[in-house]
Amino acid sequence: MSDKEAPRPGLVQAALSGRVTNAQGAAALGLGIRQFRRMKAAYRRAGAAGLLHGNRGRPSSRRLPPEVRERIGTLMETTYDGLNDTHLTEKLREVEKLSVTRETVRQIRLSRLRPAVRRRRPPRHRTRRLREAAEGALVLIDGSHHPWFAERGPRATLLGAIDDATGRIVGLLFRPTEDLHGYVQLLEAIARNHGLPLALYGDRFGAFVRNDDHWTLEEQLAGARRPTQFGQMLADLAIGFIPAHSPQAKGRIERLWGTLQDRLVAELRLRRINTTTAANAYLAEFIRDFDQRFAVRPRSTITAWRTPPRRFARILACRYERTVAADNTVTLPGRWIQIPPGPGGCSYHHARVEVREQLDGTLLVLREDRILVAEKTREKNFTLVARTAAHRERHPAADALRPRPPRPRVEPKPKPATIPRRLKPAPNHPWRRYPERQDHSNPPAGGGQNHLAVRGTK
């Protein structure tokens, strides 16, 4: 007997004994007087068992047929293996045309002794940060290293951006590694599809902020450190950057990775997508479906997105200060460009210029914000990296992203001819015995003595 049914026998017995009226007993149970009279009649007929609901112990009339439950269990273990309860419920409704609830799917999973895909941990006490009011006021960016293609394809990194006010995905991109080129591509896609945000919220990745303690003399005199190449792009676009000190600080995009590692992996497997190229082509469809399910309305109807400037492609570039050489060339590690003659055939020898390497590999040489020369790259798959002044890029995957040019073969120098070392004659050598065989009866002409015969004498 349930907690709701437990008070009924006592009140019915009190009404039968005349201690309470039917109206009082019905009011205490929240029932009508006629229903209370029916309960008294049932109690006289069957005792306390007559007060129980008549459907107790019977199967529900809305229970799924056994063949439907068996079909759902088979799909759960074969086609949709690895999907969580909510995701599986959506697939059953949209693809299999089976209108079931999430609780029904969970009960079927438990009946087959299948554990949950993701364990639900007890909630921890944290202070919730209020969402931004306007869309585009704050965008969270991050990268996730995960086996997105399982064992079917290469291991890749997914770079993503989510709007803080609405929870909408504003950019996704698969890259071999988390690098500067990928984040610049992501920023370009955000600006092209939505606009420029007011600020970005990310971690302390080396492409975003400088994590070293080195200050140059110019920085000490200026009282401020120069930003990274990506930071300089954001400064030119008037986009602020907020570095997070912990993953919990940017919890919304961290929760996004938990959802994508569950849903996106399953969707890629169902569509048999095994390459990053095909996955990037599918991401637009996935984003539309994700936003329809999980996006929320912003608190303000005014959007903060801004239109990119006309020179947007020139801003999304790595920039370097260089001095023109005597032959009117400017070099970068691995690249060089020839500057044509100026007005009147003038030379730019010893002039200070700015060299910019754009996202598509185009190399620009600017002086006083005027382009002197532009040259496209000859590399087939160009990757934008931050180059140093005298060494190759310090990116951890630089050698993998940009192979070194082959070194010229240097022929070995011929070894000089060795002069045999003179050995000291042995004591019994004929040269040493020669004075003993010298004939002293015939002295040399001139009355001189043989110098070999008198060796060692004065």
User: What is the C-alpha to C-alpha distance for residues 54 and 33, in angstroms, rounded to an integer?
Assistant: 20
Nearest to 29 by CA among 55, 8, 9, 59: 8
Structure confidence at residue 365 (pLDDT) = 94
Confidence (pLDDT) at 450: 45
Distance CA 16, CA 20 (A): 8
- Retrieve residue 259's tokens: 């959802």
Alpha helices (H) along 295-327: 312-315
Rounded to 5 degrees, what are φ and ψ at 46? -125, 5
CA angle 124, 127, 133 (to 5 degrees): 130
Task: Dig out the tokens for 30 from the structure.
Answer: 């929240």
The answer to whether 144 and 257 are in contact (CB under 8 A) is yes
Q: What angle do CA 358, 359, 361 make, to 5 degrees?
A: 65
Q: Which residues contact 104 (CB under 8 A, 6 or more apart)?
A: 64
- Separation CA 127–CA 138 (nearest Å): 19
Tens-digit pLDDT string for the chain (458 aa): 677 777 778 888 888 888 889 898 888 888 889 988 988 888 888 888 777 777 777 777 778 899 999 999 999 999 999 999 999 999 999 999 999 999 999 999 999 999 998 877 776 666 778 899 999 999 999 999 999 998 898 999 999 999 999 999 999 999 999 999 999 999 999 999 999 999 999 999 999 998 888 888 888 888 888 899 999 999 999 999 999 988 888 889 999 999 999 999 999 999 999 999 999 999 999 999 999 999 999 999 999 999 999 999 999 999 999 999 999 999 988 889 999 998 888 999 999 999 999 999 999 999 988 999 999 998 888 999 998 744 333 444 444 444 555 666 767 777 676 666 667 777 777 777 655 555 555 555 544 444 444 444 44
Q: Which two tokens stand for residue 25?
A: 């007993």
Q: Quick one: CA dihedral 371, 241, 139, 299, positive or negative?
A: negative
C-alpha–C-alpha distance, residues 77 and 339, integer Å = 66
Specify the pTM. 0.65
* Cβ partners under 8 Å of residue 380, min gap 6: none
Compute CA distances 181 → 2, 316, 385, 401, whole Å: 64, 10, 7, 10
Q: What is the pLDDT of residue 421?
A: 67
